[in-house]
Structure 1
Amino acid sequence: MRDHRHEPALNAVVEKYVTPGRRYFHLANPCFLSDPAQRETLGRTLAQDALRITDDELELLLGYEWRAQLTASWLIAFARRAAHRDRIGELLLANERIYAGRGFCFALARFGVDEDARLLVEYLRAFLPSTDRGEQDSALGALAYLDARLGTGHSAPFLGENGAWARWLRTGSPLADPVAALDRLREVIETQCAYADEHMSAS
């Protein structure tokens, strides 16, 4: 198992962007968005780092473990570093690290074009029929957000009373309302994108 402390270049990037203030922990549990003090501090530093991190540094983080990948994906999302779209899509489709997957979905939603919707559709076609718990909910929330933004209907084939989304949701939450659950997930992505807009415009 890799340990960044044994790889000087990787260690420098992790120590600079991932571990300060346990940033990765907050990004994995974005309830910080409802805390004004944390929201402001973290948003400001994310925006600053999103502008200063290099593409090579982002690649180092994307090639490591979930904390690094999650942090990289938020920095990519904040600055809309769409040059990393293919890599983000590849990692999402690998479906190896669920916390990182939330960041991948946020990044694709933030890029905001039809190609990003296509990558989310590809992921959902592969994994929404599965009962394994991955980032199916985050992916569909991101896709619903893009549909609303682009005026498209990419999420429609997964919906409906007996659609793949309803079936998947019931495996973990038998009493959940699929429509209400999807609305909440879309709102999470919408909030994250608005948060990035707010702090990037101030940088």
Structure 2
Amino acid sequence: MIRHPHDEDAFLALVRRYVTPERRYLKLGGSMLRMQSPECDRFMRDLREDAGLITADEIVTLLDGGWRERRTAAWLVAVSGRTEFRERLGELLLASEVCCAGPAYSVALARFGTARDADLLGAYLDRYLRRPDLAYDQAVVMGALQFIGLNLGGGQADRFREPGGLWPQWLQDAPHMQGDSDPTPSFVSLIRRLCAFVDECAEAL
């Protein structure tokens, strides 16, 4: 995406405001769960405040950026509960244009937690479980889909996980997974803990 100099300045100002303070973009995810007070309290407070302050247009701009910007924007969407970005996050997840952002999209969709969010996660799995050569975000997306299924009381992940389905086939064929046990329970647990973090962070919004 080519930007005019003025647009580039505005974009960089957004990055400095929301993405790079104290290297936030690196901490969003599993590393947050290892934080201790007072660092965790401060991180959660700042994330909550920024989720309330950032505008929809600013989120759109960050989602057009690189992995750091997209990852941060997805977390701000999750904390603020802006379900109007559901379809956009689903599109970005399916496209998988950048690294390191897929788990953030997955957390946001898992936190929204509707049948439509399950459909978007399922669309990703339909595409990328057929590509065992690509070590993308298949496991974390499966964890998010299973998490939604457990909360909705449905079997959203069943068609992938049944004997002969795409999930056991991917586990067998993906070179980086061969010999490993099914990682789904650990990723469901991770998604659950990250969504709990989001819920706690969002309580004051």
- TM superposition score normalised by structure 1: 0.91
**1:190 match:** 192
- How far, CA to CA, are the matches of 2:171 and 2:69 in structure 1? 28
**How far does residue 45 in structure 1 lie from its aligned partner after superposition?**
1.2
Q: Deviations over 1:123-175 (max 9, x none)?
A: 11011121111111111111000001111111011114543223323421222
**How far does residue 3 in structure 1 lie from its aligned partner after superposition?**
8.9
Q: What stretches of structure 1 of length at least 5 have no aligned partner?
A: none
**How far does residue 106 in structure 1 lie from its aligned partner after superposition?**
0.8
**How far does residue 100 in structure 1 lie from its aligned partner after superposition?**
0.8
Q: Say which SS state the counterpart of residue 99 (structure 1) adopts.
A: coil
**How far does residue 5 in structure 1 lie from its aligned partner after superposition?**
8.7
**How far does residue 4 in structure 1 lie from its aligned partner after superposition?**
10
- How far, CA to CA, are the matches of 1:58 and 1:117 in structure 2? 23
Larger helix percent: 1
Two-structure CA RMSD over aligned residues (Å): 2.0
Indicate whether 1:88 and 2:89 are aligned.
Answer: yes
**2:30 match:** 30
Q: What stretches of structure 2 of length at least 5 have no aligned partner?
A: none
**1:120 match:** 121
**2:181 match:** 177
- Equivalent of residue 152 in structure 2, options 147, 150, 153: 150
- TM superposition score normalised by structure 2: 0.90
Q: Deviations over 1:169-191 (max 9, x none)?
A: 3421222211xx10110111111
**How far does residue 110 in structure 1 lie from its aligned partner after superposition?**
1.0
- How far, CA to CA, are the matches of 2:16 and 2:2 in structure 1? 15
**How far does residue 35 in structure 1 lie from its aligned partner after superposition?**
2.2
Q: How high is the sequence identity, in percent, across the aligned residues?
A: 38
Kindly tell me the number of residue pairs found equivalent between the two proteins.
200
- Equivalent of residue 202 in structure 2, options 195, 200, 203: 200
**1:55 match:** 56
